[in-house]
Amino acid sequence: MMIQRQDHIKKIEQKKKNKQDAGLVSERYPAVDGMVIHMTYLHKAENPVLMERTVNVFPSSYAYFNMECMTKGCEGGGFDLSPIIARNVKQQKKSVKGSMVCKGKSEDRSADHASISYEISIKYARKKPKRSKK
């Protein structure tokens, strides 16, 4: 029981470090005014929708977009939306939809035990008009 607790504390500390290492949205993506990430978590079951989740991202938020797998016992899994967000911000896209399969492993689950479908809306800061010199 004590070892599980220590492992849990280590995971929390690692996640905190990962968020800090990612930096803030305002630093990493200065043109972004905000984002809304809507995800539907799916798993292999009679009722495939495990949960729906909406994450609001502000300039003051961490630019950490690795969403955890919600399947119990999944090790090393999750959904890293960072490359998708980076690519779409670079291309100045306002929205993107897609899906992703969890790469994690579980002793009693198949490799494709969970997936998400996502929709990301990106709002950009309005460019300030240049003042003409008189």
DSSP string for 36-74? EEEEEEEESSSS-EEEEEEEEE-TTSB---EEPP-STT-
Question: Is 103:76 a contact under the CB 8 Å cutoff?
Answer: yes
Question: Is 62:20 a contact under the CB 8 Å cutoff?
Answer: yes
Per-residue pLDDT averaged across 108-116, rounded? 74
- H or E element at residue 28: helix 25-28
Q: Where exactly are the structural domains of the chain?
A: 23-124
- Residue 39's contacts (CB-CB under 8 Å, 6 or more residues apart) are 52, 53, 54, 55, 67, 79, 116, 117, 118, 119
Instruction: Tell me what pLDDT residue 40 has.
Output: 96
Distance, CA of 26 to CA of 23 (rounded, Å): 8
Look at residue 115 and give its three-state secondary structure: strand
**41-70 residue pLDDT tens:** 998 888 889 899 999 999 999 999 999 888
Say yes or no to pLDDT of 133 above 80: no
Instruction: Tell me what pLDDT residue 110 has.
Output: 62
